[in-house]
Every structure is written in C-alpha cells, then in structure tokens.
Structure 1
C-alpha cells in the first residue's frame, strides 16, 4: 500500500534539492511528528559535497555503517517537532499535539543511528520525521519552536565545557565564534568561568560573542588573541612559567576551545597557547593534519577531543533554554521555508555573518 509522499530537503549526488520523498513510517517504539523547526548544521553543509569522505572517516573511526551515499539522504538533526501519531510498541506517554525535542538517534539493527545521517532513518529537514519515543522531551514553558530546535547545537557546547572541567581560576579562550563557539561561551558563562577570550574574523560574530558573555573579543586579522595571557596572570611561555614557579607565585591556568576545525589549528595552538594548557578540540577538521608533538611535550599540554553530548547534558540545555538562562534568540540569524533550504545552505557555506538558520517546513 502506498504510504504517500512528503516534501524534504534531500542530498542527492552532490546537490541539495527539495523534492517529494516517501512519507515516514514509524518503526517499533517510534512516533510520527510534524517538523516545526530544524536548524542547519555545519556537518549538513559538509555532507552535501563530501558525504563519501565523511562515510569513510566514520568507518575508520569504527562507527556503524548507516549511510549509503548512492541513496537519497534526508538531512536534519537539530529539530523541534509536534507529535502526530504513535507507532507500534509505544506507550503513548505524550499526547498528539505535544511539541518535543530529542537527541537525534534511532535504534537500528547495528545500534544507534543518527537521524539525518542515516539512509534508514531520515532527518528533520522534511515535513514529517519519525522519532524514538523513549528519547522525547516535551518543550517547556511555551519556548518557541525555533528556539527549542537550538537545544542540540547548544548541548554540544555544554558537553565541551563539561569535558574541559575548568576551575574557578581558569581563563578560557574560544577560537571561532560560529554556532559551536558561541555555545561554548554560553556554557562557560553558565558555569561562572571567566575571563573568556573569544576570537573570530567576523565583526557580527564577535559582537554576538560579547553579547553571550565573552569578556575580551579579538579580530585575528589585526591581533593575536594570545597577547592577553600574561595580563590575565597566565604564564604565556616556558620562561614565564619558570619564573612564576621559582617565585612560588600562584598563577591561573588556560583552557582553549578550538571551534574552527581547519588544518593547521592544532599546530598553531601547540606553538601559541600557554604551557600546561588544556586544548579542547570541538571543531571537526575532516582533513589530514600535521603537528609537532614534542612542542606539546615540552609545554606539557593536554588535548581532549569531544563529540556531541550525553542525554543529561541535552536535557539540562533544554531546561536552561526553557528557564531563560540561555537567550537562544541571539543565535538565530534567519528563518526560512523548506523551499529556501538550498539557498540557505549556500549562504551558510559562504564566509559571512550568518550563525544559525532554522528551516520551518510548514512556513
């Protein structure tokens, strides 16, 4: 029996098109939901032109094989949706009409699969999406759908800061003030960490970083963000650290969040970040890179690579949005219809001031 069709943003070949696809059908433990808002992520942009490369990296990482690049792929994993109906094996704990968000996972035969990066479970850049009932969280306090959809990218910042675990005397630096860098700044502010140094080439993003809680904002085209360490009582060199240790002077420590993800950034931080720094790598560099490890050895630096978030961190981020502890509206730079999705991808791929564009399929 034909299950009908729906409109969706589809990666086909190396193009993003909006077309009709088969309507979603819930599997065991899933609900059918109407997508109200879905954010566009940098990983979505990369998938359009470089999906095969991403699949190969996933295989090398030991991730489950969930994508056939030869098939159509419906993207979208940052979403808010409204429950329409319950599928088989559900307990119907949330009524139809309930607005929900969730971590974007479904349970496939090989384990969890990421909605929007699976050819088994299509993403939320579509009129409807099938979601795992057990993961659903109701949207609290009348939070607007377009803001609730930001829970996912903001939770990445929550997780990155949790892994960094900065202390009361930590000085934080955020390199790159796109959506993830801004999410890190928000999470640092929520934990009372400061001062925070933020660096980005975009004037609009620097302004947003300051609005989100950064204390010092730097344009890397005109000055190095690393010029501020000594003023903030962080020894910037081995010589400076040695003097402080000989004097028995208490100094502050540095936590640096790399949120750009381009080749050369790690080596740059090895050379320019202070000794004893904790470097937290949040930006997803998809290319081969080269570093000189002995520099990190000499400076006794520590690197942490982070991905996604825990369910508790996701729920905590949603709670913070619902309670007004995070101003999600500052992240939104545009809201577009499903028909405008391809143009929105092009705008985000070009250097500029865009931060987060949310697609509203029923707009």
Structure 2
C-alpha cells in the first residue's frame, strides 16, 4: 500500500509499504482522512531531541514495549484519523464493513506483550497511509452523517476538552487562552461547550483570531496592541490556558496573571525554560500541566462535533492526497494560510 513516512527528517511517499494485518481484537480500516498534528511537524524537525528527553524522564510507563525508534528508517505517523471498516481480525466482533469510525490511538498487542501508541513507530502503521489496524474495543462509530474529514478532528478536540476538564473551570469564571493554534482553538471550543461566558483569546495571527471568535471566544486580542490581561478587565482570578509552548511564555504568565489564578499548560514546550517561582509564590498561583485525553473525553468530543456544538469546518484549510503530504508539512508553517490540513489517502 501507499503511505507517507518520515525518514531522516524528510517526509517521503512510499509505494510499497507492507500491508497491516489485523490480529485478534483488531480491525482493518481504510483511512479516509487524517489530520496533520503540530506534534508531527515538531517531531519531523526535532525528533532526536524529543526521543532524548523521553529517555531522561522517569516515573512514566512507556508504550511500545520498550521498542527503540530509529529515525534513519521509515517512521509511520498520523494519529488524527477516521476511516471505513474493511474487516475484523480472527474472533473479533466489529462494526460492519463500510462503517465510518475513528478510534482512541493506541493498539494493544494481540499477544498481550504491550500496548503500542499510534503516533510514531517503525512498525505500527499510522493515518498517513491507505490502511491502518485499530483496536476493536476502542472504535467509535461516527454518527449523524459526519464527514470523515470532520470526524478526524475528534482527536485534537479531545486534547482541548481534557485541558478544560482538568482545569476545573466553572461557567462563571473567566478564561484566558494564550495561543490560537489548533490546541488553543480546541480549548476555546471546549470552554464554550462547558458554558464559560467570558473567553479572552490572544494570538498574533488575524486568521487565528477569527477562528477563535468562530469557536466561541468572547474577546480576541493582538498581543502587539493589547494584553489579554487588560482585556479580561479585572484583577479577579482567571483560568489561563497556555497553548503556545515556547520558552519565556510561562514566566510571563506567572508575572502577569492575577493573584489566585490557575495556569493550565497545554502547549508543549520542548526546550529548557526558566521561570521565577517568586511570581507564583507571591500571588499563590496554581500551575498545572496537562497532556492527552481519556477514552471518555475522546467519545465526548466526537459527540460535540457530530451534534454541532463545535463547528470544526472552518479549521480545515486544505485537503490533500498522499503525494502532497511533504508540501502540507511545509505549508502549515504559515498560520495565515493554514490551520488544519487533512490527508485523504
């Protein structure tokens, strides 16, 4: 089959990738749509650094049974997917062939030896290919005639929902969202569904600010002209969502956020950073880091999209075939032109 892969820092299109075969508890799916995630863009450029940081980290179970990822060989990516069921593995109950599904992107091994993440792998195929194997128990049937290129955005929307859930924000509290890329936009959508009535969003990009307004931000600011703190208009505590992920932002938030605020870090900064704890201590700030989502949040995000609570259509700025995946990885560097590019193998 055909698939786009990462090899030695380059995105390549292979014509003869080995076909995935479903085992017990697994289902073979024809990929209809797969969103390109910002984490994939970062991994393509900084994969070695990300792997090195992961090796230094303690106290976290590692998916993949300890397999070493070799960046000099083909790496399969693509975890924001939707597709049609082709066939189930041996002894497996699954939706009928042709059913449109998406799934929580992990894959328990049939022999019980571990769990693979469908994120970056030399073995496990991802959504940038024509076919993929998924876990039958983790499948979510796509309801309400939702098209595949919208269902594929379930995964990034779940990231935003998880951040909002972990924040504990209530409808009467004010939210400040710094950064209106796909993650920040997902946070805004989840805040709106939660009933938060004051959502101040900040981004340098006019296009991203317009998308933030469409998803539910009540105020948008250009940080070159006005701070989000000034627009929030009160010294009362707020819930801040950091969705930028570059050095210096976190310290600036600690310096500027109102006393007793909660700061939720959902942007992934891969660089070493420096903060002044004095800012946080003096104002009794609550600092929380979040990652990923639960299966329940994944399902809830799919429902919100399918029922029209979150309109993801404006986020999709291009739909491309496999041959244009290398172009798409470059094009996503311009926030004025693109937000979410969908690959349709």
Which residue of structure 2 lines up, in the alignment, with residue 246 of structure 1? none
Residue equivalent to 2:14: 19
Q: For the residues of structure 1 that align with 2:337 and 2:288, how far apart are their CA atoms? A: 28
Deviation of 1:26 (Å): 1.9
Q: Which residue of 1 aligns with 2:336?
A: 352
SS state at 1:16 partner: strand
Structure 1 residue 351 displacement after superposition: 4.7
TM-score calculated relative to the size of structure 2 = 0.94
How many angstroms apart in 2 are the aligned matches of 1:70 and 1:309? Answer: 30
- Kindly report which structure 2 residues correspond to 1:209-220, keeping only aligned pairs within 5 A, or say none: 209-220=212-223
Q: Report the Cα distance in structure 2 between the residues aligned to 1:353 and 1:180, rounded to whole angstroms.
A: 17
What RMSD, in angstroms, separates the aligned Cα atoms of the two structures?
A: 1.4
| Structure 1 residue 174 displacement after superposition | 0.4
Q: What residue in structure 1 maps to residue 29 of structure 2?
A: 33
In structure 1, what is the Cα distance between the partners aligned to 2:21 and 2:115?
A: 18
- The CA deviation string for residues 262-288 of structure 1, in whole angstroms up to 9 with x for no partner, is 111110101111111100000000111
Secondary structure of 1:222's partner? coil
- Residue of 279, 285, 292 corresponding to 1:308: 292
Offset of 1:89 from its aligned partner?
3.9
- Which structure is larger by alpha-carbon Rg, 1 or 2? 1
SS of the residue 1:23 aligns to: coil
Match of 1:54 in 2: 50
How many residues were matched structurally? 336
Give the Cα–Cα distance (whole angstroms) in 2 for the partners of residues 224 and 324 of structure 1. 31
Give the conservation status (yes or no) of the 8 Å contact 2:201–2:209.
yes
CA shift, 1:168, in A, is 3.2
Distance 2:223 2:29 in 1: 44
Uncovered stretches (5+) of structure 2, i.e. residues with no partner: none
Residue deviations 1:3-55, cap 9 Å, x none?
Answer: xxx11110001101111211112233211110000000011101112112112
2:142 is the counterpart of 1:147: no
Alignment of structure 1 residues 270-281 onto 2, 5 Å: 270-281=254-265
Task: Look up the match of 2:278.
Answer: 294
The 1:226–1:353 alpha-carbon spacing in structure 2 relative to 1, beyond 3 Å, is farther
In structure 2, C-alpha distance between the alignment counterparts of 1:149 and 1:63, rounded to whole Å: 27
Given the two structures, how large is their TM-score scaled by the length of structure 1? 0.89
Instruction: Could you list the structure 1 runs, at least 4 aligned residues long, displaced by more than 6 angstroms after superposition.
Output: none
For residues 31 and 307 of structure 2, the distance between their equivalents in structure 1, rounded to whole angstroms, comes to: 23
Q: Is the 8 A contact 2:101 2:140 kept in 1?
A: yes
Question: Which blocks of at least 5 consecutive residues in structure 1 are unaligned?
Answer: 1-5, 236-251
Partner of 1:340: 324
Aligned-partner Cα distance in 1 for 2:267–2:312: 21
- The 8 Å contact of residues 73 and 116 in structure 1, kept in 2 or not, is answered as no
Partner of 2:100: 99
